[in-house]
A and B are shown apart, each in its own frame.
Chain A
Amino acid sequence: MNAKRIDKLATAVISLLVGVVVLILLSLIGYILVTGLPHISWHFLTSPSQAFLKGGGIGDQLFNSFYLLVLTLVISFPIALGAGIYLFEYAPKNWVTNTIRVAIEVLSSLPSVVVGLFGFLLFVVEFKLGFSILSGAIALTFFNLPLLTRSIENSLTAVPKLQREAGLALGFSRWQTVLGVIFPEALPGILTAVILSAGRIFGEAAALIYTAGQSAPILNFANWNPFSPTSPLNPMRPAETLAVHIWKINSEGIMPDASAVSAGASAVLIVVVLLFNFSARWLGNRIYRKITASK
Protein backbone atom coordinates (compact mmCIF):
# COMPACT_ATOMS: atom_id res chain seq x y z
CA MET A 1 0.00 0.00 0.00
CA ASN A 2 1.35 3.40 -0.84
CA ALA A 3 1.03 6.56 1.21
CA LYS A 4 -1.79 7.89 -0.94
CA ARG A 5 -4.00 4.83 -0.45
CA ILE A 6 -3.30 4.73 3.29
CA ASP A 7 -4.28 8.38 3.47
CA LYS A 8 -7.55 7.67 1.65
CA LEU A 9 -8.28 4.73 3.92
CA ALA A 10 -7.53 6.75 7.05
CA THR A 11 -9.78 9.55 5.86
CA ALA A 12 -12.59 7.06 5.24
CA VAL A 13 -12.22 5.46 8.68
CA ILE A 14 -12.11 8.83 10.45
CA SER A 15 -15.16 10.07 8.54
CA LEU A 16 -17.00 6.90 9.50
CA LEU A 17 -16.19 7.37 13.19
CA VAL A 18 -17.32 10.99 13.11
CA GLY A 19 -20.47 9.83 11.33
CA VAL A 20 -21.22 7.38 14.16
CA VAL A 21 -20.83 10.12 16.78
CA VAL A 22 -23.06 12.53 14.89
CA LEU A 23 -25.63 9.81 14.24
CA ILE A 24 -25.86 8.85 17.91
CA LEU A 25 -26.20 12.46 18.95
CA LEU A 26 -28.78 13.32 16.33
CA SER A 27 -30.90 10.24 16.98
CA LEU A 28 -30.85 10.90 20.71
CA ILE A 29 -31.86 14.55 20.40
CA GLY A 30 -34.27 13.65 17.59
CA TYR A 31 -35.97 10.96 19.67
CA ILE A 32 -36.38 13.22 22.69
CA LEU A 33 -37.71 16.09 20.58
CA VAL A 34 -40.07 13.94 18.49
CA THR A 35 -41.61 12.20 21.51
CA GLY A 36 -41.62 15.30 23.70
CA LEU A 37 -42.53 18.29 21.54
CA PRO A 38 -46.19 17.23 20.94
CA HIS A 39 -46.84 17.43 24.69
CA ILE A 40 -45.54 20.95 25.06
CA SER A 41 -48.18 23.63 25.30
CA TRP A 42 -48.52 26.96 27.03
CA HIS A 43 -50.59 25.21 29.69
CA PHE A 44 -47.85 22.57 30.17
CA LEU A 45 -45.13 25.22 30.57
CA THR A 46 -47.04 27.39 33.03
CA SER A 47 -49.22 25.20 35.26
CA PRO A 48 -48.07 23.38 38.42
CA SER A 49 -47.41 19.67 38.39
CA GLN A 50 -49.97 17.07 39.52
CA ALA A 51 -49.09 14.11 41.71
CA PHE A 52 -52.10 11.88 41.03
CA LEU A 53 -54.13 13.46 38.24
CA LYS A 54 -53.37 13.86 34.60
CA GLY A 55 -52.85 17.20 32.92
CA GLY A 56 -50.10 18.49 35.24
CA GLY A 57 -47.50 20.93 33.96
CA ILE A 58 -43.93 21.86 34.79
CA GLY A 59 -44.34 25.59 35.49
CA ASP A 60 -42.90 25.58 39.00
CA GLN A 61 -40.08 23.22 38.09
CA LEU A 62 -39.10 25.39 35.14
CA PHE A 63 -39.06 28.47 37.33
CA ASN A 64 -37.07 26.60 40.01
CA SER A 65 -34.46 25.55 37.47
CA PHE A 66 -33.91 29.11 36.28
CA TYR A 67 -33.95 30.56 39.79
CA LEU A 68 -31.42 27.99 40.97
CA LEU A 69 -29.29 28.70 37.92
CA VAL A 70 -29.23 32.43 38.63
CA LEU A 71 -28.42 31.89 42.32
CA THR A 72 -25.65 29.43 41.49
CA LEU A 73 -24.07 31.78 38.99
CA VAL A 74 -24.33 34.71 41.41
CA ILE A 75 -22.38 32.68 43.97
CA SER A 76 -19.94 30.85 41.71
CA PHE A 77 -19.02 33.45 39.08
CA PRO A 78 -17.29 35.95 41.41
CA ILE A 79 -15.37 33.14 43.15
CA ALA A 80 -14.34 31.55 39.86
CA LEU A 81 -13.34 34.92 38.41
CA GLY A 82 -11.21 35.74 41.44
CA ALA A 83 -9.58 32.32 41.44
CA GLY A 84 -9.02 32.47 37.68
CA ILE A 85 -7.37 35.90 37.89
CA TYR A 86 -5.24 34.75 40.80
CA LEU A 87 -4.03 31.67 38.95
CA PHE A 88 -3.41 33.68 35.79
CA GLU A 89 -1.63 36.74 37.14
CA TYR A 90 -0.66 36.45 40.78
CA ALA A 91 0.02 32.79 41.56
CA PRO A 92 3.75 32.16 41.95
CA LYS A 93 5.02 29.15 40.06
CA ASN A 94 5.63 26.82 42.99
CA TRP A 95 4.23 23.71 44.64
CA VAL A 96 1.35 25.60 46.30
CA THR A 97 0.03 26.71 42.94
CA ASN A 98 0.51 23.24 41.53
CA THR A 99 -1.43 21.80 44.46
CA ILE A 100 -4.27 24.24 43.79
CA ARG A 101 -4.37 23.21 40.15
CA VAL A 102 -4.41 19.51 41.01
CA ALA A 103 -7.17 20.14 43.56
CA ILE A 104 -9.23 21.92 40.93
CA GLU A 105 -8.76 19.04 38.53
CA VAL A 106 -9.77 16.48 41.14
CA LEU A 107 -12.78 18.55 42.11
CA SER A 108 -13.87 18.79 38.48
CA SER A 109 -13.91 15.01 38.13
CA LEU A 110 -16.02 14.38 41.26
CA PRO A 111 -19.24 12.56 40.40
CA SER A 112 -22.13 14.95 40.92
CA VAL A 113 -23.95 12.52 43.20
CA VAL A 114 -20.97 12.68 45.57
CA VAL A 115 -21.17 16.47 45.51
CA GLY A 116 -24.89 16.11 46.28
CA LEU A 117 -24.37 13.81 49.26
CA PHE A 118 -21.59 16.03 50.57
CA GLY A 119 -23.90 19.03 50.24
CA PHE A 120 -26.64 17.10 52.01
CA LEU A 121 -24.42 16.28 55.01
CA LEU A 122 -22.79 19.68 55.27
CA PHE A 123 -25.42 22.26 54.28
CA VAL A 124 -28.74 20.50 54.68
CA VAL A 125 -27.95 18.69 57.95
CA GLU A 126 -24.96 20.34 59.59
CA PHE A 127 -25.68 23.98 58.69
CA LYS A 128 -29.42 23.34 59.05
CA LEU A 129 -30.24 24.96 55.72
CA GLY A 130 -32.68 22.15 55.04
CA PHE A 131 -33.75 21.05 51.58
CA SER A 132 -33.62 24.46 50.01
CA ILE A 133 -32.70 26.36 46.89
CA LEU A 134 -29.77 27.81 48.83
CA SER A 135 -28.39 24.36 49.70
CA GLY A 136 -28.82 23.36 46.06
CA ALA A 137 -27.12 26.51 44.81
CA ILE A 138 -24.13 25.99 47.10
CA ALA A 139 -23.82 22.33 46.08
CA LEU A 140 -23.99 23.33 42.41
CA THR A 141 -21.34 25.97 43.08
CA PHE A 142 -19.02 23.18 44.26
CA PHE A 143 -19.92 21.27 41.14
CA ASN A 144 -19.48 24.25 38.84
CA LEU A 145 -16.45 26.07 40.32
CA PRO A 146 -13.60 23.88 39.04
CA LEU A 147 -14.58 23.94 35.38
CA LEU A 148 -15.59 27.59 35.46
CA THR A 149 -12.31 28.60 37.15
CA ARG A 150 -10.36 26.57 34.63
CA SER A 151 -12.13 28.05 31.62
CA ILE A 152 -11.84 31.61 32.95
CA GLU A 153 -8.11 31.10 33.48
CA ASN A 154 -7.83 29.68 29.96
CA SER A 155 -9.66 32.67 28.49
CA LEU A 156 -7.28 35.04 30.29
CA THR A 157 -4.22 33.07 29.17
CA ALA A 158 -5.47 33.15 25.58
CA VAL A 159 -5.03 36.94 25.45
CA PRO A 160 -1.74 37.67 23.64
CA LYS A 161 1.18 38.26 26.03
CA LEU A 162 2.01 41.43 24.13
CA GLN A 163 -1.12 43.07 25.51
CA ARG A 164 -0.04 42.41 29.05
CA GLU A 165 3.43 43.78 28.31
CA ALA A 166 1.91 46.84 26.67
CA GLY A 167 -0.16 47.58 29.76
CA LEU A 168 2.68 47.04 32.20
CA ALA A 169 5.14 49.02 30.06
CA LEU A 170 2.72 51.96 30.08
CA GLY A 171 3.04 52.09 33.86
CA PHE A 172 -0.18 50.28 34.73
CA SER A 173 -0.15 48.20 37.88
CA ARG A 174 -0.77 44.47 37.50
CA TRP A 175 -4.34 44.93 38.70
CA GLN A 176 -4.98 47.78 36.26
CA THR A 177 -3.51 45.70 33.45
CA VAL A 178 -5.65 42.67 34.27
CA LEU A 179 -8.82 44.67 34.77
CA GLY A 180 -8.40 47.26 32.03
CA VAL A 181 -6.58 45.39 29.28
CA ILE A 182 -6.77 41.63 29.68
CA PHE A 183 -10.24 41.18 31.12
CA PRO A 184 -12.10 43.04 28.34
CA GLU A 185 -10.19 41.04 25.75
CA ALA A 186 -10.94 37.76 27.51
CA LEU A 187 -14.61 38.66 27.95
CA PRO A 188 -15.99 36.69 24.97
CA GLY A 189 -14.27 33.55 26.21
CA ILE A 190 -15.41 34.14 29.78
CA LEU A 191 -19.02 34.72 28.71
CA THR A 192 -18.98 31.55 26.63
CA ALA A 193 -17.63 29.64 29.63
CA VAL A 194 -20.38 31.02 31.86
CA ILE A 195 -23.16 30.18 29.43
CA LEU A 196 -21.85 26.67 28.78
CA SER A 197 -21.63 26.07 32.52
CA ALA A 198 -25.19 27.36 32.78
CA GLY A 199 -26.22 24.52 30.47
CA ARG A 200 -24.50 22.02 32.74
CA ILE A 201 -26.15 23.46 35.84
CA PHE A 202 -29.56 23.49 34.19
CA GLY A 203 -29.38 19.81 33.33
CA GLU A 204 -27.93 18.67 36.65
CA ALA A 205 -30.09 16.34 38.75
CA ALA A 206 -27.99 14.09 40.98
CA ALA A 207 -26.40 16.89 43.00
CA LEU A 208 -29.81 18.42 43.64
CA ILE A 209 -31.85 15.42 44.77
CA TYR A 210 -30.29 15.58 48.24
CA THR A 211 -29.88 19.34 48.48
CA ALA A 212 -32.67 21.28 46.79
CA GLY A 213 -35.11 18.46 47.46
CA GLN A 214 -37.70 16.68 45.41
CA SER A 215 -40.82 18.53 46.39
CA ALA A 216 -42.36 21.51 44.70
CA PRO A 217 -44.54 23.38 47.19
CA ILE A 218 -47.35 25.39 45.73
CA LEU A 219 -45.99 28.73 44.64
CA ASN A 220 -47.92 31.94 44.56
CA PHE A 221 -46.43 33.99 41.74
CA ALA A 222 -48.14 37.10 43.03
CA ASN A 223 -46.16 36.94 46.25
CA TRP A 224 -42.74 38.50 45.81
CA ASN A 225 -41.77 38.69 49.47
CA PRO A 226 -38.61 36.51 49.59
CA PHE A 227 -39.29 35.53 53.23
CA SER A 228 -42.73 34.08 52.63
CA PRO A 229 -42.79 30.26 52.22
CA THR A 230 -45.07 30.42 49.20
CA SER A 231 -43.03 33.08 47.46
CA PRO A 232 -41.15 31.85 44.38
CA LEU A 233 -38.19 34.02 45.44
CA ASN A 234 -37.76 32.45 48.88
CA PRO A 235 -34.32 30.80 48.77
CA MET A 236 -35.04 28.69 51.86
CA ARG A 237 -37.88 26.66 50.33
CA PRO A 238 -37.40 23.21 48.82
CA ALA A 239 -37.40 23.33 45.06
CA GLU A 240 -37.65 20.51 42.61
CA THR A 241 -35.97 21.43 39.35
CA LEU A 242 -36.86 20.24 35.89
CA ALA A 243 -34.11 17.63 35.74
CA VAL A 244 -35.00 16.28 39.19
CA HIS A 245 -38.66 16.21 38.17
CA ILE A 246 -37.84 14.04 35.16
CA TRP A 247 -35.86 11.68 37.35
CA LYS A 248 -38.68 11.50 39.91
CA ILE A 249 -41.47 10.89 37.44
CA ASN A 250 -39.54 8.05 35.90
CA SER A 251 -38.68 6.40 39.20
CA GLU A 252 -41.87 6.88 41.19
CA GLY A 253 -44.36 8.87 39.13
CA ILE A 254 -47.94 7.67 39.65
CA MET A 255 -49.82 10.21 37.60
CA PRO A 256 -51.63 8.55 34.68
CA ASP A 257 -49.82 10.65 32.06
CA ALA A 258 -46.36 10.20 33.64
CA SER A 259 -44.60 9.21 30.42
CA ALA A 260 -46.07 12.11 28.51
CA VAL A 261 -45.04 14.63 31.19
CA SER A 262 -41.57 13.09 31.32
CA ALA A 263 -41.19 13.26 27.53
CA GLY A 264 -42.41 16.85 27.41
CA ALA A 265 -40.16 17.93 30.30
CA SER A 266 -37.13 16.24 28.69
CA ALA A 267 -37.78 18.04 25.44
CA VAL A 268 -38.02 21.37 27.25
CA LEU A 269 -34.75 20.62 29.04
CA ILE A 270 -32.94 19.76 25.82
CA VAL A 271 -34.29 22.82 24.03
CA VAL A 272 -33.14 25.13 26.84
CA VAL A 273 -29.67 23.57 26.98
CA LEU A 274 -29.38 23.82 23.19
CA LEU A 275 -30.43 27.46 23.41
CA PHE A 276 -27.69 28.09 25.98
CA ASN A 277 -25.11 26.49 23.72
CA PHE A 278 -26.11 28.32 20.57
CA SER A 279 -26.42 31.67 22.32
CA ALA A 280 -22.94 31.13 23.83
CA ARG A 281 -21.49 30.70 20.36
CA TRP A 282 -23.43 33.57 18.92
CA LEU A 283 -22.60 35.97 21.73
CA GLY A 284 -18.94 34.92 21.87
CA ASN A 285 -18.47 35.41 18.13
CA ARG A 286 -20.29 38.70 18.18
CA ILE A 287 -18.24 40.20 20.99
CA TYR A 288 -15.05 38.78 19.53
CA ARG A 289 -15.79 40.44 16.22
CA LYS A 290 -16.61 43.71 17.91
CA ILE A 291 -13.44 43.65 20.00
CA THR A 292 -11.09 42.67 17.19
CA ALA A 293 -12.85 44.94 14.70
CA SER A 294 -12.87 42.18 12.09
CA LYS A 295 -15.81 42.40 9.78
Chain B
Amino acid sequence: MANHPTKKVKTDGESAQTMQSLLAKAIQPEYQWSDKDEFLDVVYWMRQIMGLVLGLVWGFIPMRGFIGLALFFVVNVAIVYLYYSSFQKVDEEEYGGASEILKEGLMTSFSSFLVAWIILYSALYS
Protein backbone atom coordinates (compact mmCIF):
# COMPACT_ATOMS: atom_id res chain seq x y z
CA MET B 1 0.00 0.00 0.00
CA ALA B 2 1.38 3.36 -0.92
CA ASN B 3 1.19 6.18 1.57
CA HIS B 4 2.78 9.23 0.11
CA PRO B 5 0.85 12.34 0.99
CA THR B 6 2.60 14.49 -1.56
CA LYS B 7 2.34 18.24 -1.90
CA LYS B 8 -1.13 19.65 -2.11
CA VAL B 9 -1.90 20.50 -5.69
CA LYS B 10 -4.35 23.25 -6.49
CA THR B 11 -7.12 22.35 -8.91
CA ASP B 12 -6.87 25.80 -10.46
CA GLY B 13 -4.54 26.27 -13.40
CA GLU B 14 -3.62 22.66 -13.87
CA SER B 15 -0.52 22.26 -15.94
CA ALA B 16 0.73 19.27 -17.89
CA GLN B 17 2.95 18.37 -14.96
CA THR B 18 0.02 18.28 -12.60
CA MET B 19 -1.74 16.01 -15.06
CA GLN B 20 1.21 13.66 -15.06
CA SER B 21 1.40 13.45 -11.30
CA LEU B 22 -2.37 12.96 -11.21
CA LEU B 23 -2.04 10.07 -13.64
CA ALA B 24 0.68 8.49 -11.52
CA LYS B 25 -1.56 8.66 -8.46
CA ALA B 26 -4.59 7.42 -10.38
CA ILE B 27 -2.96 4.17 -11.44
CA GLN B 28 -1.64 3.42 -7.96
CA PRO B 29 -4.00 1.06 -6.14
CA GLU B 30 -5.40 2.31 -2.83
CA TYR B 31 -3.66 5.64 -3.01
CA GLN B 32 -4.27 7.84 0.03
CA TRP B 33 -5.93 10.92 -1.43
CA SER B 34 -5.07 13.92 0.68
CA ASP B 35 -7.06 16.25 -1.57
CA LYS B 36 -10.62 15.17 -2.35
CA ASP B 37 -10.72 17.35 -5.45
CA GLU B 38 -7.77 15.50 -6.92
CA PHE B 39 -9.58 12.18 -6.73
CA LEU B 40 -12.71 13.69 -8.26
CA ASP B 41 -10.54 15.15 -11.03
CA VAL B 42 -9.21 11.67 -11.75
CA VAL B 43 -12.75 10.33 -11.95
CA TYR B 44 -13.70 13.25 -14.19
CA TRP B 45 -10.89 12.75 -16.71
CA MET B 46 -11.27 8.98 -16.62
CA ARG B 47 -14.91 9.46 -17.56
CA GLN B 48 -14.07 11.79 -20.45
CA ILE B 49 -11.61 9.32 -21.95
CA MET B 50 -14.06 6.50 -21.38
CA GLY B 51 -16.85 8.48 -23.08
CA LEU B 52 -14.70 9.06 -26.12
CA VAL B 53 -13.47 5.47 -26.32
CA LEU B 54 -16.93 3.95 -25.81
CA GLY B 55 -18.32 6.32 -28.45
CA LEU B 56 -15.70 5.18 -30.95
CA VAL B 57 -16.28 1.51 -30.13
CA TRP B 58 -20.07 1.85 -30.39
CA GLY B 59 -19.68 3.65 -33.71
CA PHE B 60 -17.33 1.04 -35.05
CA ILE B 61 -19.37 -2.06 -34.08
CA PRO B 62 -21.95 -0.42 -34.99
CA MET B 63 -24.29 -0.23 -32.04
CA ARG B 64 -27.77 1.07 -32.85
CA GLY B 65 -30.78 2.26 -30.91
CA PHE B 66 -31.44 3.08 -27.29
CA ILE B 67 -29.65 -0.03 -26.13
CA GLY B 68 -26.43 1.82 -27.04
CA LEU B 69 -27.34 4.75 -24.81
CA ALA B 70 -28.38 2.51 -21.94
CA LEU B 71 -25.30 0.35 -22.26
CA PHE B 72 -23.09 3.43 -22.17
CA PHE B 73 -24.52 4.49 -18.81
CA VAL B 74 -24.27 0.97 -17.40
CA VAL B 75 -20.65 0.48 -18.50
CA ASN B 76 -19.59 3.99 -17.51
CA VAL B 77 -21.12 3.89 -14.03
CA ALA B 78 -19.98 0.31 -13.43
CA ILE B 79 -16.34 1.08 -14.30
CA VAL B 80 -16.28 4.15 -12.09
CA TYR B 81 -17.91 2.16 -9.27
CA LEU B 82 -15.38 -0.64 -9.58
CA TYR B 83 -12.53 1.86 -9.76
CA TYR B 84 -13.38 3.70 -6.58
CA SER B 85 -14.69 0.77 -4.55
CA SER B 86 -12.34 -2.04 -5.56
CA PHE B 87 -9.22 -0.40 -6.97
CA GLN B 88 -8.86 2.79 -4.93
CA LYS B 89 -11.02 1.68 -2.00
CA VAL B 90 -12.02 5.20 -1.05
CA ASP B 91 -14.65 5.88 1.56
CA GLU B 92 -17.58 7.22 -0.45
CA GLU B 93 -19.03 8.96 2.60
CA GLU B 94 -16.06 11.32 2.59
CA TYR B 95 -17.23 12.55 -0.79
CA GLY B 96 -20.86 12.98 0.20
CA GLY B 97 -22.15 9.57 -0.86
CA ALA B 98 -21.76 7.27 -3.83
CA SER B 99 -23.91 9.46 -6.05
CA GLU B 100 -21.45 12.35 -5.82
CA ILE B 101 -18.66 10.21 -7.23
CA LEU B 102 -20.88 8.42 -9.72
CA LYS B 103 -22.27 11.58 -11.25
CA GLU B 104 -18.95 13.44 -11.43
CA GLY B 105 -18.54 14.54 -15.06
CA LEU B 106 -21.24 12.13 -16.26
CA MET B 107 -23.08 14.56 -18.52
CA THR B 108 -19.92 15.89 -20.15
CA SER B 109 -18.78 12.33 -20.71
CA PHE B 110 -22.19 11.50 -22.19
CA SER B 111 -21.98 14.34 -24.68
CA SER B 112 -18.42 13.37 -25.70
CA PHE B 113 -19.67 9.82 -26.14
CA LEU B 114 -22.58 10.94 -28.33
CA VAL B 115 -20.35 13.11 -30.51
CA ALA B 116 -17.84 10.28 -31.06
CA TRP B 117 -20.58 7.69 -31.65
CA ILE B 118 -22.57 9.85 -34.09
CA ILE B 119 -19.56 11.02 -36.09
CA LEU B 120 -17.97 7.60 -36.50
CA TYR B 121 -21.29 5.91 -37.19
CA SER B 122 -22.19 8.45 -39.90
CA ALA B 123 -18.74 8.26 -41.42
CA LEU B 124 -18.71 4.46 -41.65
CA TYR B 125 -22.32 3.41 -42.17
CA SER B 126 -24.21 6.03 -44.15
Q: Say whether A associates with B.
A: no
Write the residues of chain A forming the contact surface with B, with a CB cutoff of 8 angstroms.
none
- B residues sitting closer than 8 Å to A (CB atoms) are none
